[in-house]
Structure 1
Amino acid sequence: MPSGDADDGPGTAGAARRASPRGIRRFAVDTTPLRIAPFRWLWSSTVVTSVGSQLTAVAVPLQIYDDTGSSALVGLAGAAALVPLVVFALWGGAVADLMDRRRLLLISNAGIAVTSLLFWAQAAAGMRSVTVLLVLLAVQQALFGINQPTRTASVARLVPAGQLPSATALTSTVAQFGQIAGPLLAGALVPVLGLPVLYLLDTVALVLALLAVWRLPPLPPLKAAARRAGLADIVDGFRYLVRRRLLLVSFLADVIAMVLGMPRALFPQMAQLDFGGPEGGGTALGVLYAAIPVGALLCGLVSGLYARVRRHGVMVVLAVVVWGLSIAGFGMSGPLWLAAVLLAVAGAADMVSMVFRGAILQSAATDEMRGRMQGVFTVVVAGGPRLADLLHGTVGAAAGTRPTVAGGGLLVVVAMVALTLAVPAFWRYVPER
């Protein structure tokens, strides 16, 4: 694979230098992909739903707890969401490879909007049925499992290969912004306007997203004729993944980072026992939960750097190692401000890893398999932190919070170095242009 771009001559090189951004603009958010109208519409739909979806993500567990007073039932909602998400992300990725992706986005977006409207209807009617909530949540997550791999698999059809890191960074940055702004907005609105309003605002955001998706061009399969997806197509996707060690390592890198090094299940206990917070929440707990997405968001704001990086494999490896070291440092930190800084550094490293893993997936997977690979990506991203919750919660109860967190971070470093030594081609990977 080429390691760089060839010069076309002195005049061309000089023009490129004159056209290149200077000063702080070299590091600011690279908005070049937004000049492409179809990508701009797809990105716009992500912007409006990134906040709206978080409103529902807050509203559902809040409503369950308000209606039942049971944290166990709140936990059950997580399982109700994960199972359909995993199943339909795998199936939806196969469907995205075998039918027009624009059409599939319209269908799944419309379905999510309807479920959000039904969430609003049951809340406005004063229903107190956990069963209804769990069924609606399962349907919503099934539709999201179809929508997400379709949305991300469409990006490579809309922007040139050289702009994929910037396009991924733009999408990831607004997603991180939604994770911060959505819960804050929900907390401010519930006491004033009531919980049903959160569902209604999410519905409005989804309708706006639907209008943006409508503006996309048709995105039919490039090689295969459109047809229904079956189990054999999902199996073919896994066979393809096993044969493409580069893609497999990119997924394993995220599994290593999230399963071994995501300590969020211990945040409530650490906020109270290690950082002096009160029972039931407080500033310390809020800081711990917000620090990682804040770091990721800040890193996304300097995405101008990403377009200049050619060694995508190196960036993923280094980002995962920095994540592990930061989490280990967090586990051994004393004051809350230092813990917050280390978690923010971990969040920034996670953003870098996400951007370049996404770019590798978009560039290294063929279009007829891109949807299925994005389906697996969705499962890994959604399932890894949930497995981490189980692992850290169990080990933390037996060994204590700080040894568990610090040990998990160091294991991330060891496992990532071992994986890189086992598959050195990943370290050397440079995308074609």
Structure 2
Amino acid sequence: MQRDRPNIHASTAGVDTGNQTTGQPENVPKPPAQRQESAPRPPRRSTRRGWKQTFNSLSNVHFRHFWLGMLVMMGAMQMQMLARGYLVYELTNQNAAVLGLVNAATALPILVLALFGGAIADRMERKRIVQLGQSGAAILALFIAISISLGYITWWHLLVTSVVHGSLMAMLMPARQSMIPQLVGKEMLGNAMALNAAGMSMSTMLAPAVAGGLYALIGPAGVYYVLCGMLVVSLLLTGLLPKSSNEASAIKTSVLADISAGLSYIRRTRMVMVLLLLGLATTMLAMPFRFLMPVFVVDVYHKGPEAMGLLVSLMGLGTLVGSLFIAGLGKNLRGLLLITLTFITGAALLLVSIFPIYTLALGLMLLLGLGDAGRRALNQALVMEVSDDEYRGRVWSVFMMNFGLMPLGVLPAALIAEYYGGQVAIGILAGLMILVSATVLITQKQLRRFQ
């Protein structure tokens, strides 16, 4: 045993020499230490800045398929809105009341069924729900296309399919949005949500123009056949995505119980509640201007439809820039930025209401689009980020109800515009938007400091 000890000391001396002796630095094993220091690869991902960081999420192959599928699907929906509107107007001999009824028919199911869609998204496989919704939308488009080709189409067909389509969207959208955090993770969630919003902005800008050209070239039936094909492409891209990882609860509960649990979660999670209320308030205050824009173009600026087209295009450009700006944004005072963008939206609307100058309005449309898109993209990203995965579908279903409640903001604004003018109506909404921004800034310390 005594003979073994020197051997043990000799073997350990070679390893510990650098720590125990200072007189022989040559024995310190430097190469292994240098290898360890040269190994950190993960930081390379976070050091990317500027425009390169803007598209980081698209390096994820699953999100890239998801994003392309969204682009095709949302493009089809935007094209359908234009084609359906023209077709209804032609079938009813320019009846504006029926046109409004058919367009509003999509919003009612969203308002009524969104909570059920959210609960289902949190208890079932989300990818399957999205595929079922896309399949249903493709079948509806094919049905309308065949009905037009056979000469059986009436505006009642379009009304019923609008209701069914709204019901499908109420089920599809909560599941679809809840998939994003699972595809990219929390670190890239803000970037992915902003790129998602940017894709929707691109669809809003480009798809209606494409639909108008196709409608004139191949007629309404041809447009609906194209829509069906686009929705099938979107369905195939969804098929390339991995299955969602949400785990079904071991305790079997009813859908109504799940909805109740989701609403309770929102009530007790202050940050989620504040973000949802802020999104609802700002949507109801900002969106009416888009519907009242013809009032400004005709009665305030005394221009024609081409002037309105330019205003809408510039707002769309601002929307795209705002979404890309949020996509390239790091995690730094995002809560304060959200409040600031809400204030910018209100300020732009206020300037539009005060100055009846068309050339000034062109610049303000860029500012309005940038502030509004940045606000929406950032709000959506923060809602998804602060929500627990098991509740994300239900949380998003509440956020989605904004679109169903939008008429509650449009109707009062339209009545005020009818009796007092569009400038007064938008001025009131702008003042309320600025008041909401100031109130949130003063009272919501947690949001103000959120990174």
Q: Is the 8 A contact 1:292 1:346 kept in 2?
A: yes
Shift of 1:12: 8.4
CA contact (8 A) 1:81 1:138 kept: yes
User: Match of 1:6?
Assistant: none
Please give the residue correspondences for 1:100-179 in structure 2 after superposition, counting only pairs within 5 Å.
100-179=125-204
SS in 1 for 2:136: helix
Structure 2 partner of 1:367: 389
Flag the 1:276–1:234 CA change in 2: closer, same or farther, 3 A.
Answer: same
Q: 1:20 aligns with which of 37, 44, 47?
A: 47
Find 1:275's aligned residue among 279, 297, 301.
301
Residue 372 of structure 2 corresponds to residue 350 of structure 1: yes
**1:330-380, Cα deviation, whole Å (9 max, x unpaired):** 112333232122122111112211222122111111111000111111111
Counterpart CA distance in 2 for 1:322 and 1:57 is 29
Q: Pick from 228, 247, 267 the counterpart of residue 222 of structure 1.
A: 247
- CA drift of 1:227 comes to 6.4
After TM superposition, the structure 1 stretch with the greater mean CA deviation from structure 2, 391-400 or 254-263, is 254-263
- Aligned match for 2:257, one of 210, 222, 232: 232
- From the superposition, tell whether residues 19 and 389 of structure 1 become closer, same or farther in structure 2 (CA, over 3 Å): closer
TM-score (norm 1): 0.89
Aligned partner of 1:286 in structure 2 is 309
**Match of 2:30?**
none
Residues 144 and 153 of structure 2 are in contact (CA less than 8 Å); yes or no, is this contact kept in structure 1?
Answer: no
State the alpha-carbon separation in 1 of the partners of residues 130 and 378 from structure 2.
Answer: 24
How far did residue 284 of structure 1 move? 1.9
Equivalent of 1:97 in 112, 115, 122: 122
Percent identity over the alignment is: 24
Whether the 8 Å contact between 2:338 and 2:375 is mirrored in structure 1 is: yes
User: How do 1:8-407 and structure 2 match up within 5 A?
Assistant: 16=43, 20-21=47-48, 26-27=50-51, 30-68=54-92, 69-222=94-247, 224-225=249-250, 230-262=255-287, 263-278=289-304, 282-303=305-326, 305-306=328-329, 308-380=330-402, 382-407=403-428
Q: Which residue of 2 aligns with 1:4?
A: none
DSSP-derived class of the 1:161 partner? coil
Question: Matches of 1:128 and 1:226 in 2, distance apart?
Answer: 48
Task: Give the superposed CA RMSD.
Answer: 2.3
SS of equivalent to 2:105: helix
Unaligned 5+ runs, structure 2: 1-35
Deviation digits for residues 7-30 of structure 1, max 9, x if unmatched?
Answer: xx99789994798346xxx13562
TM-score normalized by the length of structure 2? 0.86
Aligned partner letter, 1:70:
N
**Shift in Å at residue 429 of structure 1?**
2.0
- Counterpart of 1:422 in structure 2 is 443
Q: How many corresponding residue pairs?
A: 414
